[in-house]
Amino acid sequence: MRYDDDAQLDASEVTDQRGRSGGGSFGGGGGGPAGGLLPMLVSLLFRGRSGKVSWVVVVVVVVGFLAVSFLGGGAGTSVPVAGGFGEPGGPPVAGTSELASECRTGADANTNPDCAIVADINSIQAYWAGGGYARVARVTRGAAPTYQRVDTVFFSDRVNTRCGSADSSAGPFYCPADDLVYIDLTFYDQLRQQFGAQGGGLTNAYVLAHEYGHHVQDLLGTEAAVRTRQGATSDAVRLELQADCYAGVWMNHATAPADGRPALITDVTQADLDGAIDAAQRIGDDYIQGRLGGGTVDPDSFTHGTSAQRKKWLTTGYATGDPTRCDTFRTDDLG
């Protein structure tokens, strides 16, 4: 995947808090979501919403075995999080001056991984602001209010949010209480090293496009309507598959002008798409439970969908380029 060398980047859509101390307690003082009962070594991916916040998949490696935990108040929580993620923090303090000076054009995105993420965020939001959100809102809500741009916060180790305190083991997430996406960029290393994903530029963008899909769901009221939090056909699974589909829709439009701006991304190859699909399959409930966890696959505990389902809905979004085709809540065939 390549970026237009002459395209202008907008680093104001990122708040860079790396190197800052997030502070606060996580999980009641245990250094991780197990509240000190289990040492968390690595975790993954993607965030869903339950009450104030849900976290989609957290994989915990503990002395020779791997257990799957679902953080937050949603069904399927196997490890309780004391005090609702600790004490909520205030809004992040902007720390983007260095990033803004480094990430000015697409040429910077082609040589600097941090700038590539900035470009991805700009592209994702340009699509939704440039008509993607209005299209799905007309069908879902009968009206098309304006898409609300939100920032992504880069953090290291730990961060305070209005959803509570979190550390990097939680993986990327969207906090609806402060309308921000959060990511520790070392997550991309974990995705390759711990889960064996191919990685690559579009894979990195897919992670963020999925989180911005949750923001779209929040704006549309989709997440607020979720009732069943666990099970193969639960609302939680449908929510995550829809966010994957929304990510695929953006991929379809990634090389097209949007929101009155030229396209930031000039080239998305089949190899790029294969890498993103590979990542999606490695975070399916069945893959995590059966292969990474080495245990029995239990569909009744699913919260995100199988590998095949995640592939299906990501590719559905990419093939159609139409967010209205992502209605996972009105189909009996999730894949």
DSSP 137-166: HHHHHSS-PPP----EEE-SSEEEETTEEE
Distance CA 230, CA 208 (A): 24
Residues of the chain with pLDDT under 50: 23-94
- Cβ count within 10 A of residue 332: 5
pLDDT at residue 63, as a whole number? 24
pLDDT at residue 277, as a whole number? 98
pLDDT at residue 97, as a whole number? 72
Beta bridge partners of 67: 60
pLDDT at residue 143, as a whole number? 78
pLDDT at residue 96, as a whole number? 63
Distance CA 320, CA 329 (A): 18
pLDDT at residue 89, as a whole number? 37
Phi, psi angles (nearest 5°) of residue 105? -135, 170
pLDDT at residue 95, as a whole number? 52
pLDDT at residue 123, as a whole number? 98
